[in-house]
Amino acid sequence: MNLLMEKYTHQPNFKANSIKIRFGTHDNIGSGPISLPTVELHTTGTWFAFNAPNDWTESKLTDAMTGTAYAIQSFIPLFVRCDRTDIHVMPQVKAVHTEKPTFFIYDSYPGGIGLSEKLYKQWDELLEKAAEHVANCYCDVGCPVCIGAQESSESNVKEEVISLLRALTDGGS
Ligand SMILES: [Zn+2]
């Protein structure tokens, strides 16, 4: 589903925590909550919601969506001729607006500058090109060129990103 929002407010509803580490050795010497102000930006955006693949766990979906958002954001400047920082791609495993896994793209400027409005019409092409780019990358498990730096994990996040992107280009919901 492709929809254009008139206004989008990003209000992170998570609790941030800090970790204190020892300079030099990186030993963990304590942690605690941080109180951060809500970030509010009235801008324009578009979103793409879909049904999660049936047998995927939430953590697998989170990893795949994070890598996919990175890949999408890398490609957007080629579609609408902007700087990478002019737009923001945010994945949410269960978005409040759609109650589904959703990718949001919004302009990084108050009021919006028309970038996400252009992208609203190009979601399919954007997802296809991102899938192609990730699949053709020379790395094995993901790298900063395709899906961002990956911590070593048991699963191959790159394969998960490719399979998610291919599923999405066969039609979101
Ligand atoms: Zn790569």
User: What distance in angstroms lies between residue 133's CA and the mean position of ligand 1's atoms?
Assistant: 9
- DSSP sequence for 27-72: -EEEEEEE--PPP---EEEEEEE-PPPTT--HHHHHHHHHHHHHHH
**33 has which bridge partners?**
17
Full-model pTM: 0.77
Which residue did the predictor score with more confidence, 88 or 27? 88
Domain spans in the chain, listed from the N-terminal domain onward: 2-169
Share of the chain above pLDDT 90, in %: 51
**DSSP H or E run through 169:** helix 157-169
Find the mean pLDDT for residues 119-135: 92
User: What distance in angstroms lies between residue 145's CA and the mean position of ligand 1's atoms?
Assistant: 5
Give the pLDDT confidence of 4-57 residue by residue, as tens digits. Answer: 554 444 544 556 677 787 877 777 788 888 777 877 889 999 999 999 888 889
User: What distance in angstroms lies between residue 37's CA and the mean position of ligand 1's atoms?
Assistant: 35
User: What distance in angstroms lies between residue 3's CA and the mean position of ligand 1's atoms?
Assistant: 30
User: What distance in angstroms lies between residue 143's CA and the mean position of ligand 1's atoms?
Assistant: 4
Which residue did the predictor score with more confidence, 137 or 37? 137
Write down the pLDDT at residue 34.
78
Residues in the chain: 173
